[in-house]
Structure 1
Amino acid sequence: MDKILFIDDEPSVLDGFRRQLRKDFDLVTAPGGEEGLKLVEKEGPFPVIVSDMHMPFMNGIQVLAKARELAPDTVRIMLTGMADLQTAMNAVNQGNIFRFLTKPCSIESLSMALQAGVAQYRLITAERELLEKTLKGSIQAMADILALTNPVAFSRALRLRHYAAQMAKTLNLPNVWQFEVAALLSQVGCVTLPSEVLEKAFAGEALTPQEKEMFDAHPQVGGQLIINIPRLNTIAHMITHQQKPLSGLQLPAAEDASFTAEIGAHILKVAVDFDLFLSRGMTPERAKGSMADRGGYPPVLMAALARVETPRLEKSSLVVKVGELRNGMILAEDVRARGGGLVVNKDQEVSDTLRQRLKNFVLQGNIPDEIRVFVYQRVVAAT
């Protein structure tokens, strides 16, 4: 049975609901707003919450507004014996109320409202679950395409994801997943670039004017690809503006979508520059010092970068046949075709897609059947 939370300061009312609705619903009751909200946190989610309007300490509008923050998907119903237009308007506007019922309310009417609320909850959660699965699948598909078509860019994206996630966590930013996804997809626009140009750019080598124009366009290309995926508008902004000159940055008191997009782009810029210094052979500490000496980075981001740990692989390795590769293994060296072209960059983690790609190359006789890998991986603080 569906679990329904009733909040009312009158025990007799709660007892009546339990007796008359227990055959159709799993009722949980609370004698006040504070108690009800604690139940939302500890025993939720509830498909439906029904709250009385007039209660001591917290009225129904306050309770349902707070419940909305704690459990956005839960359907909220207001039950009151003193209905007036202003109360109804406040309840709808502040608590996003699904139904507004007046006492005395027949059990038949209440039961119908609860059934409608449960149906609405199922619809909301089903749509969200479908969207999340679609979103996750879209992100994974784009990452796999990047890994297959441009292993150099994908290898860099994995490193950027590591740096961006640590910086976002250090700054206590909400929705860290957004910064991780932005970093992982930040190099998607590189699918349009020749691998030789990428290798030069990522190694910090000088580019010709034509090559620089091509490379500088990749964030815009990537952003245009991402903008078409639902719920990724903010991430698309981060990717598009990852090379934008940095400006002063102050953390806001409350979560703000425009700020999230701005600081995400800034984090990507810092992560990209940090990775570029590392690719030139600098130690992490020297790279951070060089960036500090160069200046122009927001102090709050440099403080977060100072706490970033860089991934290090254990030195033990072994040689395995491509057919023996397992997910989680790390490539210990670049995999190149017999003609010298790069197939997969070193330090990539073996996945189903990568394993199939390597098998295809082996079947065509383009790469050796044996590859050196790291079996174990650990992340330690850089020194």
Structure 2
Amino acid sequence: MESPELRVLCVSSDVPVLSELMVLLRRRCALACASNADEALEHLHADGSFAVVLTDVRLAGGDGLTLLKQARRLAPDALRLLLAHQVDVGKLLVAVNEGFVFRVIPKPLVPEAFIAVLETALEHFRLVHAERLHRERSVQATLKLLLDLLALTNPTIHARASRVRQYVRLLADHFDVADRAQIETAVMLSQIGCVGLPPAVSEKLCHGRRLTAEEQEHVDRVPIVADRLLANLPELHPIREILTYQSKHYDGTGLPADEVRGERLPWAGRALKIALDFDTLQGQGRSVAAALEEMSGRHGWYDALILEAFAKLWGTEVQCFDVRELPLQEVVSGMVFIHDVVTPAGTLFITRGQEVTEDLLEHLRNVPPPLGREAVQVVIPRTPVAVG
């Protein structure tokens, strides 16, 4: 999130006032002008990234207060300023107290006083934006640390998250959903609750092996653990909601045991449920067709529309692999491993579906020559990886 261009929307049906505003502001910020509320709303709908929305209280075909209430919804970050004759200022202070007007500016305009108010509003916007930018970078650094720790402590689970991300990407592209970055972050964090799982349980989970009652209880708590790890980051509330419902059945059965079901479940949570279960069946060695057939027989588990689309995507995408075979030491960032890579001693080194990252490349530079020269099969990014 870079520092935004400071844009100001000026609205007035009084042509001389609008002209005066243009003269005063054109060298201080990027200006958009409107002569009535409808024109202003067109600007806000087209691009609401304004630092300030400044309007006359009296407009042709509307009023400034109503416009600013709409602006609060369409451009929530913008500071809202209201121009009013001195006789109206006292009546309008309630709007300031209610929070949807930053300042009321008396008319006729006093240029020096007006510019001072505008600069105060712009500076307030800059400070809020800088604080948000700092917060976002801190959150991203925290998330990277969590995912790096997961990759180091449980590479099997991290690779599972990478595979599932590829599947959900296909669905997000197909349905043209918004907030792709948020969804991908949620998918990668979907397995963060596995950090406390014993390695043996992680292996069984990824390969779809039968779990004991005690092990299943630990696995059922994965979304709860993930939620607790992220609870102190309010910016991640939408992501936490996705993770909470990643194991929930579409008909409302499963965990968590609440009344949320069907379309009330987050779309990303429904897609993630399908992707995770598909990956589990693949881990058991099922073919794509066998895995999808079993899932289609689980009535009430999945969103039928998403599952149908997922099956069709595999019917087309699975034929379009760009498979490459090359020495391990020649892989590049973005490639995805089709099979496990095992050391000569029999130790699992890289799991199937793991994506090559800069961190992994750094790790590969230190592998012994025999392993580095071993031929591996990889696919290009965003292609689903089938096993069996």
TM-score by length of 2: 0.80
What is the Cα-based RMSD across aligned positions, in Å?
3.3
Summarize the Cα distance change of 1:222–1:45 in structure 2 as closer, same or farther, 3 Å threshold: closer
Greater shift in the superposed pair: 9-18 or 186-195: 186-195
Deviation of the 1:295 alpha carbon:
1.6
Distance 1:288 1:178 in 2: 27
Give the alignment of 1:2-41 within 5 angstroms.
3-22=7-26, 24-25=28-29, 27-40=31-44
Task: Identify unmatched segments of 5+ residues in structure 2.
Answer: 253-259
Whether 1:376 aligns to 2:380 is yes
Q: Which amino acid aligns with 1:353?
A: D
Matched letter for residue 188 of structure 1:
I
- Equivalent of 1:306, from 302, 308, 333? 308
C-alpha distance in structure 2 between counterparts of 1:135 and 1:10, whole Å: 46
Q: 1:315 and 1:176 mapped to 2: Cα distance?
A: 24
1:372 Cα deviation (Å)?
1.6
The reply to whether residue 110 of structure 1 matches residue 114 of structure 2 is yes
Percent sequence identity is: 30
Q: Corresponding residue for 2:143?
A: 139
1:320 aligns with 2:322: no
**After superposition, what is the alpha-carbon deviation per residue over 1:73-126, rounded to whole angstroms, capped at 9, x for unaligned?**
222111122526664435764x72211223233222211110001101111221
The Cα of 1:307 is off from its aligned counterpart by 0.8
Cα–Cα, structure 1 residues 103 and 74, in superposed 2: closer, same or farther, change >3 Å?
same
Q: How far apart, CA to CA, are the structure 2 residues paired with 1:20 and 1:218?
A: 58
Q: Are the structure 2 counterparts of residues 293 and 237 from structure 1 closer, same or farther at C-alpha, using a change threshold of 3 Å?
A: same
Whole-angstrom distance in 1 between the partners of 2:322 and 2:32:
56
Cα displacement (A) at 1:31: 1.2
Match of 1:204 among 204, 208, 215: 208
Separation of aligned partners in 2, 1:234 and 1:276: 25
Shift in Å at residue 51 of structure 1? 0.5
Contact 1:334 1:346 in 2 (8 A): yes
Paired residues of 2:79 and 2:101 also in contact (CA < 8 A) = yes
Letter in 2 for 1:339: A
Aligned length: 368
Which of 186, 189, 206 is equivalent to 2:190? 186
- Per the TM alignment, residue 10 of structure 1 is displaced from its structure 2 partner at its CA by 0.8
Match of 2:340 in 1: 334
Equivalent of residue 88 in structure 2, options 83, 89, 101:
83
* Structure 2: distance between partners of 1:278 and 1:320: 25
How far the C-alpha of 1:185 sits from its partner, in A, is 0.8
Q: 1:7 Cα shift?
A: 0.7
Pair 1:24–1:271, CA change in 2 (3 A): closer
Other structure's SS at 1:77 match: strand
Say if 1:76 and 1:98, in contact at 8 Å, map to a contact too.
yes
Counterpart among 278, 284, 290 of residue 282 in structure 2: 278
The aligned counterpart of 1:68 is: 72
C-alpha distance in structure 2 between counterparts of 1:180 and 1:327, whole Å? 18
Question: What TM-score, normalized by structure 1, do the two folds share?
Answer: 0.81
Contact residue 148 and residue 357 of structure 1 kept, 8 A: no
- Where does the alignment leave 5 or more consecutive residues of structure 1 unmatched? 253-258
Q: Match of 1:305, as an amino acid?
A: L
Aligned-partner SS, 1:343: strand
Q: Is the 8 A contact 1:147 1:354 kept in 2?
A: no
Shift, 1:188, TM fit: 1.3
Which is worse superposed, 6-15 or 200-209? 200-209
CA contact (8 A) 1:314 1:378 kept: no
Distance 2:81 2:39 in 1: 17
Gap change, CA 1:377 and 1:270, over 3 Å in 2 = closer
Q: Cα 1:197–1:337, aligned 2, differ >3 Å: closer, same or farther? A: farther
Q: Does the residue aligned with 1:152 lie in a helix, a strand or coil?
A: helix
Q: Is the 8 A contact 2:337 2:377 kept in 1?
A: yes
Q: Which residue identity is paired with 2:359?
A: T
CA contact (8 A) 1:61 1:91 kept: no
Matched, 1:292 2:299: no
